[in-house]
Chains A and B, each alone.
Chain A
């Protein structure tokens, strides 16, 4: 077998510019997974993945918290759709966002606290979200550092941000995501032959001229603008790396199969449309992870001020949250409970998409950690106490699962800190003001 490192640009250019493109056949089985499919043939474990799954408006208080601390047994009613995953998940209750006297940016402060460890003073975020910090650690060797999707039709619903104003926009069309990941630029890691594209070599070489533009540009800027341009050049390096990876024979991944082509589907906030697009996205993201195209995925099921609605209804999920009376007999808002059931059902579908991909005796979900995020603890009051939080998957055994961690009055940032540490980010303390924490949730660290 030809060692992979020999596919560098110079060797390829030499081979290709001189004549026809080289087609390199590789002995297929030699680079396969080990016999049980849980590691690459050279003994390295399959990489860990990370993801976030966001929805708006939290859950109905009292209806999701598990009854007892410790081992997860019976699920409370609003987490029933997730019951099949009780051994692969953790639930954190009682956690809150601290405002520290800052105004409550409704539907904003809570999710910022949870995902960035910082509650901003106004409606402008100023810190990177936990997924980008983790992607910088685990996502640097893949074609895409991360993939974001927004199921309710607006790319700005994405909660993944590299800094205050640099938000990774989400794909809103499953067909577009399909083309981006599995279109003509996709290299099947399990293909028997590998043909590098001469046009890719030329493009990669040309991009170095753009990288050189940095010298004249960045030195002339103030600090804030310099950081923004640095972000551009980080993105440029990502693009160069994408091209570099297209010139390498990827390591085969037994669980990788190329999904069928996805056609255009309507987008919008009507819940059946949102669920349909989410299902398509879930399948594509699972395949993208299984095929090593990325190690980080971020799903925004809705916006924070959940604008989900039922066809023909005059009110959105958000309007119901404020305007629907608490049913005197039931003790909760029944329409809201209906929406939450739909949302948790969709989360279960997403997990099933990952758990359905078998890798030996384990599944893709087992080498992944999914963190859920939401904006409120009690939507009716814009409350930031007792915000529902969950994780799924063990990240290749790095995380203990099947636990309920009650953490009354603790900052939600503890989950983000712990997951960064589990994913290998060298961080001992994270967050700002009362959201700052150095308290790892040791109960879940394996």
Chain B
């Protein structure tokens, strides 16, 4: 029991930064970076890269290997996952399908920059040209001579076997699309000339680090060219690229990807709502609800360059007629599409926490859950950890919803909380979630449950409120909220938790975010221009005689 009290006390304290790794000091006394990570591309990244290289007409169909979430982000799970046998079967199918479209008759003239001398036979020159250009985009660096020769040979052998140049080229392209060199992002270390004894990413790894962080995709040709010229190793060159990328409309895609991950929207894939209880909630509503929240966020943070904290209080959003019906508000949308909409002042719908996506995702299939919602506010938005329930706890005090004594969730949870073992944990979740009880599991507004009026009062870390708008303000004002997004953004970019040795850098980013009036693009720019973002711990093998360094040299040549 003593132990448990201690755990709970810790949990209730804002735990905004969690570190991984060990503190290391380099020869010059400066902190070194965390361990290099190797990340598997996400489904979204795979799709985006294919679209960037070959255009949006090339379809990527198939089932991708599921991602896993670690320490709050799929971006960190990406550093842990591999490719299973059935996963590779799928990557193989997807790759062959993409390649067949690229070399297919309707696309080859636009996507392949040359023509073979004889379409029924191998053609070294044309295969080399296509594979070296495409390979550079897929591997996010130029191919070594050996790599190119190997892939040209595959194309030639297959062209002979299939008596068709394009089919052969397609086979070779598919082997690149399923190579670990494409599917995994490896960080290649080189010694840091500015800091004796320290290591940093090589220029191409830097380009990927930047591009996946800001655009959720592989580097574009301009960024690769900057890497090749060595520009990314100078402060001015790096800043120039970061400015270009932050100013690009593609930043919005990067911001969307970040919030899709942070808010756990992948869970919508398997979200079930009972259609008899929530006839208005279907997969289309679920998709539109996510889109609504992402539009609210990107409009405020990217288009209007607003204060991050305002995503919790803004009443400005976007709706479709279908969503308007879930919200029970009138919407004039002659084309049936998205329209800007502003909830009136005083309305209980304020900020993303009161939107359908959040309240529906953090509910049971058939009813709301103040506990799940409170837990999500703590864990997702404030980066705090709520302990898991202990073993052998008796839940008998929670009676079923039909019990006339306990008509509302508040009453049922109050009964449950008379058990001291349960009360500790629920105290840090339920008072938050009860503020959202006016929204049912399908996200619609309600004023009663089983005939009893709903009371939406609650508190967050001692700040009392009476409804969802009050909760929204309390989250807005909670210092853990901006601190959380800083730590999530850093972990998202790094693919790991910041190392203890990076504590000063984390602090600098937190301070910088505040100074920038909590503008997210400025935070992303600060992170992306920090040398620390590209610093990595010494490789586990001898530096210059290691194959990575050798590979880096070969690429440079």
Report whether A199 and B162 are in contact in the complex, using a CB–CB cutoff of 8 Å. yes
The listed residue (B77, B153, B394, B401) touching A380 by CB distance below 8 A is B394
Give the A interface residue count (CB, 8 A): 83
The answer, yes or no, to whether A258 is at the interface (CB within 8 Å) is no
The answer, yes or no, to whether A120 is at the interface (CB within 8 Å) is no
Q: Which residues of A contact B399 (CB under 8 A)?
A: 323, 325
Q: Which residues of A contact B540 (CB under 8 A)?
A: 222-223
A236-B88, A315-B401, A319-B364 in contact; A220/B188 too (CB < 8 A)?
A: yes
Report whether A380 and B391 are in contact in the complex, using a CB–CB cutoff of 8 Å. no
In chain B, positions 409-435 with a C-beta closer than 8 Å to chain A are none
Q: Which of A39-47, A61-69, A165-173, A354-362 contacts B (4 or more CB under 8 A)?
A: A165-173
Report whether A220 and B548 are in contact in the complex, using a CB–CB cutoff of 8 Å. yes
**B93: nearest chain-A partner, CB-CB:** A180
Most buried by B among A229, A242, A323: A323
Q: Which residues of B contact A216 (CB under 8 A)?
A: 144, 147, 181, 547, 551
The listed residue (A209, A231, A238, A314) touching B154 by CB distance below 8 A is A209
Question: Nearest Cβ distance between residue A331 and chain B, in whole angstroms?
Answer: 14
**B88: nearest chain-A partner, CB-CB:** A235
Q: Which residues of A contact B45 (CB under 8 A)?
A: none
Report whether B86 and A148 are in contact in the complex, using a CB–CB cutoff of 8 Å. yes
**B64: nearest chain-A partner, CB-CB:** A169
The listed residue (B80, B392, B541) touching A383 by CB distance below 8 A is B392
Cα-based distance from A160 to B393 in the complex (angstroms):
29
Question: Nearest Cβ distance between residue B75 and chain A, in whole angstroms?
Answer: 14
The answer, yes or no, to whether B451 is at the interface (CB within 8 Å) is no
Cα-based distance from A214 to B151 in the complex (angstroms):
14
Most buried by A among B150, B160, B276, B388: B388
Report whether B395 and A202 are in contact in the complex, using a CB–CB cutoff of 8 Å. no
Report whether A221 and B390 are in contact in the complex, using a CB–CB cutoff of 8 Å. no
Q: Which of B65-73, B103-111, B304-312, B497-505 contacts A (4 or more CB under 8 A)?
A: B65-73
Cα-based distance from A146 to B85 in the complex (angstroms):
9
Report whether B175 and A210 are in contact in the complex, using a CB–CB cutoff of 8 Å. yes
A-B contact count (CB 8 A): 221
A228-B81, A229-B38 in contact; A235/B87 too (CB < 8 A)?
A: yes
A235-B83, A322-B398, A382-B391 in contact; A314/B38 too (CB < 8 A)?
A: no
Report whether A315 and B82 are in contact in the complex, using a CB–CB cutoff of 8 Å. no
Q: Which of A74-82, A99-107, A411-419 contacts B (4 or more CB under 8 A)?
A: A99-107
The answer, yes or no, to whether B320 is at the interface (CB within 8 Å) is no
Report whether A381 and B392 are in contact in the complex, using a CB–CB cutoff of 8 Å. yes
Q: Which residues of B contact A213 (CB under 8 A)?
A: 179-181
Report whether A209 and B364 are in contact in the complex, using a CB–CB cutoff of 8 Å. no
Question: Nearest Cβ distance between residue B201 and chain A, in whole angstroms?
Answer: 13
A198-B162, A239-B85 in contact; A106/B389 too (CB < 8 A)?
A: yes
**A13: nearest chain-B partner, CB-CB:** B161
Give 1 or 0 for each of A395-427: 1 = CB within 8 Å of chain B CB.
Answer: 000000000000000000000000000000000
Report whether B157 and A239 are in contact in the complex, using a CB–CB cutoff of 8 Å. no
The answer, yes or no, to whether B292 is at the interface (CB within 8 Å) is no
Report whether A312 and B391 are in contact in the complex, using a CB–CB cutoff of 8 Å. no
Report whether A312 and B274 are in contact in the complex, using a CB–CB cutoff of 8 Å. yes
Q: Which residues of A contact B154 (CB under 8 A)?
A: 205-206, 209
Cα-based distance from A164 to B260 in the complex (angstroms):
25
Cα-based distance from A129 to B392 in the complex (angstroms):
25
Report whether A228 and B38 are in contact in the complex, using a CB–CB cutoff of 8 Å. yes
Report whether A315 and B367 are in contact in the complex, using a CB–CB cutoff of 8 Å. yes
Report whether A381 and B88 are in contact in the complex, using a CB–CB cutoff of 8 Å. no
A220-B188, A307-B272 in contact; A238/B391 too (CB < 8 A)?
A: no
Give the B interface residue count (CB, 8 A): 77
The answer, yes or no, to whether B118 is at the interface (CB within 8 Å) is no
The answer, yes or no, to whether A212 is at the interface (CB within 8 Å) is yes
Q: Which residues of A contact B150 (CB under 8 A)?
A: 209, 212
Question: Nearest Cβ distance between residue B42 and chain A, in whole angstroms?
Answer: 15
The listed residue (A201, A323, A324) touching B161 by CB distance below 8 A is A201
Q: Which residues of B contact A234 (CB under 8 A)?
A: 85
Q: Which residues of A contact B539 (CB under 8 A)?
A: 220, 222
Give 1 or 0 for each of A7-20: 1 = CB within 8 Å of chain B CB.
Answer: 00000010001000
Q: Which residues of A contact B395 (CB under 8 A)?
A: 322-323, 380-381
Give 1 or 0 for each of A141-165: 1 = CB within 8 Å of chain B CB.
Answer: 0001111100001111000001111
Q: Which residues of A contact B89 (CB under 8 A)?
A: 180, 239, 242
The answer, yes or no, to whether A49 is at the interface (CB within 8 Å) is no
Report whether B364 and A17 are in contact in the complex, using a CB–CB cutoff of 8 Å. no
Give 1 or 0 for each of B237-266: 1 = CB within 8 Å of chain A CB.
Answer: 000000000000000000000000000000
The listed residue (A171, A198, A210) touching B179 by CB distance below 8 A is A210
Cα-based distance from A314 to B365 in the complex (angstroms):
7
The listed residue (B35, B77, B181, B365) touching A165 by CB distance below 8 A is B77
Q: Which residues of A contact B66 (CB under 8 A)?
A: 155-156, 167, 169
The answer, yes or no, to whether A24 is at the interface (CB within 8 Å) is no
**B159: nearest chain-A partner, CB-CB:** A202
Cα-based distance from A388 to B498 in the complex (angstroms):
43
A201-B161, A217-B184, A270-B274 known; 14 other A-B pairs, CB under 8 Å? Answer: A104-B390, A123-B388, A124-B70, A162-B82, A166-B81, A206-B171, A207-B175, A213-B180, A217-B180, A231-B84, A235-B88, A316-B365, A380-B395, A381-B395
Instruction: Give the B-binding residues of A (Cβ under 8 A).
Output: 13, 17, 99, 103-106, 123-124, 144-148, 153-156, 162-169, 171, 176, 180, 198-199, 201-203, 205-207, 209-210, 212-214, 216-217, 219-223, 225, 228-229, 231-236, 238-239, 242, 268-270, 307, 309, 311-316, 319, 322-326, 380-384
